Structure formats: C-alpha cells, structure tokens
Amino acid sequence: MKALARWVLLVAVAAAMLEVFFIARIALMAQVDPESTAFQRSEAWRIANQRKGRLPWQQQWVPYARISDHLKRAVITSEDDTFVNHDGVDWEALEKAWQRNEKAEEAAARRAQLSRAPQRPPKIVGGSTITQQLAKNLLLSGERTLLRKGQEIVLTFALERMLSKERILEIYLNSVEWGEGVFGAQAAARHYYRKEASQLTPYEAARLAVMLPRPKYFEKVPNSAYLSHRASVIVARMGGAELP
C-alpha cells in the first residue's frame, strides 16, 4: 500500500508541475509570440512522415493590426459570437455538449452489450470557445477525453486571466490551421487569395472562417456549395460582431 501511495503522490506532483509549466508558458505569451503549438508540432511530424521528410509549411506571424477586421469579425461570428463577453467558457454550450457526450456513451455501452466486437470509444464533443480552442491547440494533445477536457478548461481560465482578449484572438488567428501545412491568417490569405491578411474582403474572410472546423476537407473542395452558402450567412451576420 505504501508503494501505491508513493506512486499516486508522484503522479499528482508530476501533474501539478506540468500545469505550472503550462501556466508559465501562458504568462510568457503576454509578451512573446509562440513559435509553434502542440498541434502544429504534431502535424509537422505527421506530414514529414507521410511525405518522407518533405514538409510543405506556410506560416508567418503578423500583428493584430495587420489582420483584417473582416476576418476577426467573421471568425468570432462563426466560432464564438460571445467571445468578448464570456470568461473563456460558454457554459450553456458546454452543458449541451455534456448531454450529447452522455448520450453517446450510453449508446456505445448498448452497442457493446449487443456485440462481442471491440467498440470504438465515443467521440467527445466540447462546445469550445475560441479561448478553449487556443488552449487545446497550444498546449494539449488531440485526444478527446473528459480528463483532457477538464485540463483544457483549467488552461482556458489561465489564458483569460493572463492575456487580454485581443492577445488571445491575435495568437489564435496566427496559429489556427487553415489547410494541410497552412497555419495562421497570413498564410491562409496568401494560399487561397494571393494577398495579405490585412487585405481580405468580407466574403473572403467569411469563407476562411467557415473552413475552420474542417480546413483540410474544405481545402480539397473549394467549390463546396455548403462553404459558399455558409459564408454568405456569416457575411450577413458579421457586422454585429464585437471586436476586442
């Protein structure tokens, strides 16, 4: 029992030290632009292995003032329309996500009872805000478990306490994925429109915003009817988006 207690204590201390490390990195980001995110490093490894060492990569950091306000409004409208007002978590959306997760787990348990074949774990959905997405991409793995979701929320609160809303949005727009090896607003603007991030029109910005949940998919289907229709909807709504 004593050996087990020591192992439990060591695991708890290691977890606490990891959180302290993450929070120290967040504090540094108030002044220093992050060179890469956990998600980007994971993608770089995947692409390099897939392409036998070749790493097509597009990313260039640009300051907040050099990113089109149209893109800022489009992303807020599409991804998190209460961004400037919440504390990092949209609790109503999170509650709905928890309810969906419970139903998914119950359905998976029923399938397991009816079948002897191994069952794939249910996908954990999150109802994530922009700040939560940034916490996940910056520091965490891509696994979808309730434990990782809890860690994401802790780091989300740290981001909201240590960084301004403007800084959070600046880091997000410079690091989010917009295609295979395409990261950040400047790279996306050049990749899709051959222009600077500051020059995006409302409709161009809206199309980029709509791509965010599935950027690799929409990169392959640029003539998607859904993409065009949804972008038009975002353009009509983004005038009401509040910027930090």
- Domains plus CATH for the chain? 37-51+58-85+163-244 (1.10.3810.10)
Report mean pLDDT in 10-residue bins for the chain, 244 residues: 58 57 83 90 86 80 97 96 89 68 59 58 62 89 65 89 96 96 96 97 97 94 94 95 94
Mean pLDDT of the chain: 83
Q: How far apart are alpha carbons 6 and 1 in whole angstroms?
A: 9
* Backbone angles phi and psi of 176, in degrees to 5: -70, 150
Task: Return the structure tokens found at 213.
Answer: 């949940």
Please enumerate, as own/partner, the contacts of 114-120 that have beta carbons within 8 Å and a separation of 24 or more. Answer: none
Task: Return the structure tokens found at 7.
Answer: 């192992």
pLDDT tens string 14-39: 555 666 777 888 888 889 999 889 89
Q: What pLDDT sits at residue 26?
A: 87
pLDDT tens string 116-144: 555 554 444 455 899 999 999 988 766 66
Q: Where are the alpha helices (DSSP H) in the chain?
A: 2-28, 38-50, 69-79, 91-114, 130-139, 146-162, 165-175, 185-193, 202-211, 215-220, 225-237
Q: What pLDDT sits at residue 22?
A: 74
Q: How far apart are alpha carbons 77 and 239 in whole angstroms?
A: 9
